[in-house]
Structure formats: C-alpha cells, structure tokens
Amino acid sequence: MKLMGLQKLTLLDFPGKMACTVFTGGCNFRCPFCHNASLVLRPGEGAELPEAEFFAFLHKRTGLLDGVCVTGGEPLLNPELPEFLAKIRELGYLVKLDTNGSFPDRLGAILAAGLADYVAMDVKAGRANYRAAAGCPELETERISRSIRLLTGGQTGYEFRTTVVKGLHTQADFTDLAAWLAGAERYFLQGFVDSGDLIGTGYAAFSPAEMRAFLAIVQQTVPNAELRGI
C-alpha cells in the first residue's frame, strides 16, 4: 500500500473520535478545485511513508486513538486497500474511509466485509455539472448514484459532502443535489479554501449568505444538512 503522509492527530475528521489520518497518493479525478494537487498529479514525487512505519505508529497509539481516517487522493484506486483496512481493524481501531464514490463495486465489497465504520463520500456537483466538477469528461454519473445508494441503503455510518466553489457551482447544482441525496442522514456543504496547491485557477468561496441560501435548498429534502467551515 503506497502511503504518502500521516497526520498524527485529528479531532475533526472522524466524527466523535480521536483519530489519525493517513494519505494515499493518486486519484482518477482531476477536480479543478482540488486542494491536494500534488498528491493527485505527482504522487511519485513526495516522500513515501513505509507501511511498517505506519503500523508501528498505530501500535504505539493503542488506547490513545480511537480510529484511523484513510484518505487521498482516492484510496479505492489501491487493490491492497481491503487488506490494509483489515490490518488496521485487527489492531482494534475504527476505520473512516474517504472516497469520491466512483468505484461502487470496490466500495460495496468493503462495506460487505465490514472493513469501514464510517464513510465520507464527496459528491462534487449536480449531475449535469458533475463531469466538469470532477475534471473527468468520460465519467459515468451512474457509478456515483450506485455508491450513494450503497451508503443510504446500508448499515455503515456515512456522510455526503460537497465543497462549494464560486466559478463552478450554481443554484441549479443544489436543486439537483437536493433530489439526488433526498433522505440522506448527513450532508455537509463545505466552504472552499484556496490551499495554494490547487489543480485549477480562478476559483473563490461563496459568501456565508450565499452558502446559507444553498443550504436552504438542500434542507428541503435533507433536513439534517449543515454548513461546514463557514
């Protein structure tokens, strides 16, 4: 398993848990607003974290941390992911998996095997705008729909989240997202932040008032939807 970094403590990424976050390299999307461009575009350039070193860290943190967040890039690109998650769980840790939802078969296998306790899936935009938001002209949005159905119809804890970007999203996106994610348990609209490591250029954050207006649209069908980072 190719690991590209480790955040040793997070109190925010895994709801209600003290966790660490491990980063995988590479992604099949090219979202123009992506804040981890170096991990996505140049995964071979950074210093790799040896898997043995990562598991040695977990052994030392037994009893101190509750869980491990596995993020990317896109972790489901890695065929070794199920074995990797199983090793984490064998040490007694809970697992949170971040994904873009474009590999529903792989996601379904992980859920069926009980290898994830919580899944955070990025839903990039409304369906008409999805290919542009993901930077993938050939993307089949039905793959995203299948992953949405897996999570909403399953027993694993989950959340959906959309990073809202001026220059990319419009009100039409949120009208469609409200229909697409109707009845979801948890959905967050996240404010865009320019990390300085973006794939594209020319993007900005919406104002808090604009974000609240988008939230009001999705709350018509997802009453528990919230703003994050505003």
Evaluate whether 162 touches 125 at the Cβ level (below 8 Å): yes
Each residue of 75-113: pLDDT tens digit?
A: 999 999 999 999 999 999 999 999 999 999 999 999 999
pLDDT attached to residue 43: 63
Which structure tokens are listed for 101? 């939802």
> Six-digit token pair at 203?
């993007």
Measure Cα distances from 130 to 39, 59, 137, 173, 204 in Å.
21, 41, 9, 9, 18
- What mean pLDDT do residues 48-58 have? 96
Residue 150 token pair: 């897996």
CA distance 107 to 102: 9
Mean pLDDT for 180-184 is 97
Asked if residue 55 has pLDDT above 90, the reply is yes
- Over the stretch 4-30, which tens digit does the pLDDT of each residue have? 999 999 999 999 999 999 999 889 999
Q: Is the pLDDT of residue 196 over 90?
A: no
Q: Dihedrals φ, ψ of 160, to 5°? A: -105, 150
pLDDT digits (tens, 9 = 90+) for 121-172: 999 999 999 999 999 999 999 999 999 999 999 999 999 999 999 999 999 9
Q: What is the pLDDT of residue 45?
A: 67
Domains of the chain with bracketed CATH? 3-228 (3.20.20.70)
Contact 96, 14 (CB under 8 A): yes
The phi, psi pair for 133, rounded to 5°, reads: -65, -35
Sorting pLDDT into bands at 50, 70 and 90, what band is 44? low
